[in-house]
Amino acid sequence: MGTIERIFHAVLFEVLAISLSIVGLAVFTEHEVSALSGTMIVVATIAMIWNFIFNWIFDHFATGPKEKRTILLRIVHVVLFEAGLLFVTIPAMAWMLDVGLWEAFLMDVGVTIFITLYAFVFNYTYDHLRALLIKRRMAASVQLG
């Protein structure tokens, strides 16, 4: 996966994650949607940068076709990603929403549990659709050539 595709992957992931997270937090907390929106945009920006860095590093250790990754490797991937992200996002949420670290921790863990499941489904789907598109492009180029 090249740099442009990594950026596309990260942006697509975060746009969907922001939207779904705002809805979830609005349902389960008393914070205004506007405050949650700003907070989640900042959290998503942090996550997008972390996503790019983390996946670049992870891909150097987990080589081979991504669509062939095991369920266990995908679970390890998501858990390591989310654990690293919590270190930065908890203080950011606490400051932006004017809550204590404990409340920010609880909110962030709720978002993290959701995002962990979402990330698994998103990346599994993305990798398989990507492999299918590449296979179709190769077949089309063979037919043209």
pLDDT more than 90, % of the chain: 42
Q: What is the DSSP letter of 65?
A: -
| CA–CA separation, 99 and 53 (whole Å) | 29
Spatial distance between the Cα atoms of 44 and 47, rounded to a whole number of angstroms: 5
Q: What are the boundaries of each domain within the chain?
A: 3-144
What is the pTM assigned to this prediction? Answer: 0.64
Give the residue-averaged pLDDT of 38-56: 89
pLDDT of 87-140, one tens digit each? 889 999 999 999 999 999 999 888 888 888 898 899 999 999 999 999 998 888
DSSP character for 27? H
Please tell me which residue, 141 or 9, carries the higher pLDDT value.
Answer: 9
pLDDT value of position 69: 87
